[in-house]
Each structure stands twice: as C-alpha cells, then as structure tokens.
Structure 1
Amino acid sequence: MIKVLIVEDDPMVAEFNKRYLKEMNGFVLSGITHNVKDAREFLNREQVNLILLDVYMPGGTGLELLHYVREQKMAVDVILITAAGDSEKIQTALRLGAVDYLIKPFEFERFRQALMKYQDKYAFFNQKEVLNQEDLDHRILDSGQRTSEELSLDLPKGLTSSTLQNIIHMIKAKEGSLFSTDEIAESTYISRVSVRKYLKYLTQLGVLEESLTYGIGRPVYFYSLKKDKLSQVNMFL
C-alpha cells in the first residue's frame, strides 16, 4: 500500500482529498496536517511514500516543505494540489521533483489519473533494479506520448465517429457562443456522461476551450469552439 500524507490548510479541501483518496485502490491515508510545521514533525516520525501538498498555508509554504524534504533526502514523492497556477511556482515545484501538479479546482478524474500514474511508476521501480531505455521512455519519462495530431488518428475506446459528428454538428450550431455539457446533451438526446467524454476528448485535442464557472450548487464547465482547430477531427466528419 502507498502511504499518503495530505498537507492542506483548508479543512474542507482536505476532506475532499481524503474522500477522493478513499476511492483509489492501493493507497492508504497516513495522516492529515494543516501547516508546514506539523507536516515536518509528521514526516520525521512516520514513513510516507507520497505527499498531497498545498502551496499556500499559514506559517510556511508547500514549496518550503518540498525544499525541506529534498534537503533531508527523504524517500518521499510529492504531488502538488493547489490554487497556485503561476508558472514560477510550477517550475520551482517541478525542479524540486514534484511528480505532478493539480491546479484547483479539478475533477476527480484528473486526481485519479495523477494517482494511477504515480502508482504505476511506484510499482515499476519496486519491481526492477535495472532499467533500459525503453523502460524509461515508455514507463517513466513519457517520451512515447503521442501528439494531438497522432491522438486524432483514432478515437478513444467507447467513442464513435457517428456520435462525434452529431455532437460537433450541435457545437457548430452554437455559432461561437459558450455552451455546457447539459446543453449539448439536451440537444442531441445523448446522456450527459457520454457527452462529457466527447467534450473532454475535443478539449484534449485543442478543438474546444474549457472554462469553469461557479454559481449556486456544483461548478459548471463551459466550452467554446476553436474553429481553426477543427481540422484535428476532419477525418471523422
């Protein structure tokens, strides 16, 4: 089991991260701390494999804790989960060895992807003592990742070209205005869950631009069409 420490000053966010973590097999929560001082004390007495770390906290930042972890040569990995989206802080975190960086607010799927990717690398390193170039490229360094042009050559599992055509037709009908998952689902009579998958795919290709709006109740994602990127899916239209 991968032992996880959550370091987050907002109790509500910490609780959400805790709930998300419970949904993941192979992970166990070792503890929750709300500031750098308590996190350092926890790390000095408990063995932890992974820290889910916020940046902005009273009495010290998450980046300072990450510096401390590296200075002490602790065998622990860090995923930043924070509202800090400026490039300087992201670069600093990556240079200090953060394995991933999630910008709040985020969906469970992005959280799941981060932990699954980490779990895969964690298991891989614990199975092999010597790695070859292919191991590094495809399992560790992600050098084998495909570009958006390559991704567009085939649809992800579960997506069909006919449904994609239908959804893109409705998106074009919006004539450049913002739209939500619910609006496309109502117009196409396709389930919201299915529509969400297609919109995520189109966002990944750069055909759509995604934005998050807060209102009453749950946050709502809105999308806008980038017409100059439609060539990414022309083969399916």
Structure 2
Amino acid sequence: MTPLPSTVPGIVRTRVRAALRRPVRPVPPTPEETEQRALLLRLMSLLLQYPDAGLTAALPVLTAAVGALPPSPAAGHLAGFTAWFAGQEPDALERHYVETFDLRRRSGLHLTYYLHGDTRRRGMALLTLAQRYRAAGWDTDGGELPDHLPVVLGLAALTGLGEGEAPLRQHRRGIELIHRALTDADSPYRHVLAALIALLPPPTEADLRAVAELAAEGPPDEDVGLDPYGAGGFAPPGSFVPPGQAPPTLVPPSAAHRQEDRR
C-alpha cells in the first residue's frame, strides 16, 4: 500500500488505514438478480437431463427462455448449447447423451463420486444430501441419486444462493473435472458446465491441483455397495459406469420406458 502523504493529519491516516484493512462485504443481489440466477440454474438442470420426448418438445420454450436472459457469460454459454441442441435429431441427441454421461467415467453426473469414489464416505454424503432436500421440503424420489447434477441444480434453483448452492460449491472440483472431460471430448454439453462454472467462485490453486490429480489418478476406491439408494454395485474406478439417468424435474417416463427408448 502506498504511504499516505505526511501532510495528511494523523487521525485521518489512521482511519484510512483501518478502512483499507476492513474486509469488503459482498453486495447482496437484488431480487431481480436472484430471480435470474434461479432461472439460469433451472435451465441448466433441464438441459442436463436425458433428452427424452418431453425435453425435446420443450426445446422451443427453453430456447426462448435462454434468449430472453440478460447478457452474461452464463447466458452466452447456454445460448451456444441450445443452438446445437435445436439442430440435432432426437435419436442423435439420445445417443450422444448416453455416450457422454453414462459410458464415460470422467463425465458422469454423480458429484459425490469425484469427491469420495466408491467409499463409505460417499454413502454418508448421499445421505446428507437427501436430508438437505427433505429439509427444503423437496421430494426427490424421481429415480435418481441425490448427487445427480441436474437434481443438485434443481435444489439450488429452488432454495437460493446460500444453503441451496452449498452442494455446488462443495463439489466444485468435480464440476470442474466434468467440464474438462466434456471439453476434451468436444461435447456441446461443455457449454452447460461452463455456464455453471461462471456462477461459482473462481477455483483456487488448490482446486486446480486437486482437479489435475483427479484427472490423473481418479477418486478414492473402496468396494462398498450403495444399496440404501438402490444404486446396486459399483464397478472399480477403471470401469465405472454411473447409474442410468432419469429426469428429476420434468415429468419423467418410467425407468422401463426409458430403457426401451435407448434400445
């Protein structure tokens, strides 16, 4: 800090120094900004769901909602994604989604896997998330684990910047790794993850080192099941395939119907 001129009275210099040392409190968002942020998170939640007939039918509405967003980095990323989405055939969308999120270990959408791998800690993390949803008055019994990113985004959109977005901040490194994997695969879904990252605090150096280690080594490994959540056995990290996706916020088809759609 540049020293204050000696001509400035001592009491003034003392007060100026104290003000400079005082931490700057973030300005709380306006109601309009809060509403727009919730809409962004809701749109991300929808766009990251399996592209079944319901989602593809809703695309004109989603595209219009994205186009009406105020200019921002997140809105720009979502516009890039919807432009690609609108030009694809339904069968191609479904194949790309399954290949991207169901069959690739590093771009699965189950966040606790990146933090805990197949360990007992993951089961506790899932239980904590489920309790958080119940405390918010939200029933997530839609066939997905509570750490499925579209579900976590739905919670954040519903309950707001503080507690609602806490799971996203907690799993920031996993989100960064998914985005990196999608970028490496040249998947247009990278735009949706980029939109989410634009809303999160910038990564620290520790975050970036942890992401690099995760990309190189994978998450912790411990062969335990997640039967309380209906997940069945998990393969070792080298061959991990996340459980099948089921839309949590649109009216979902039954699991059996979805499996028929994939055949």
What is the TM-score when the length of structure 1 is the normalising length? 0.27
- The structure showing larger relative contact order (alpha-carbon pairs under 8 Å, at least 6 residues apart) is 2
Structure 1 or 2: larger helix share?
2
Structure showing greater Rg? 2
Structure 1 or 2: larger strand share?
1
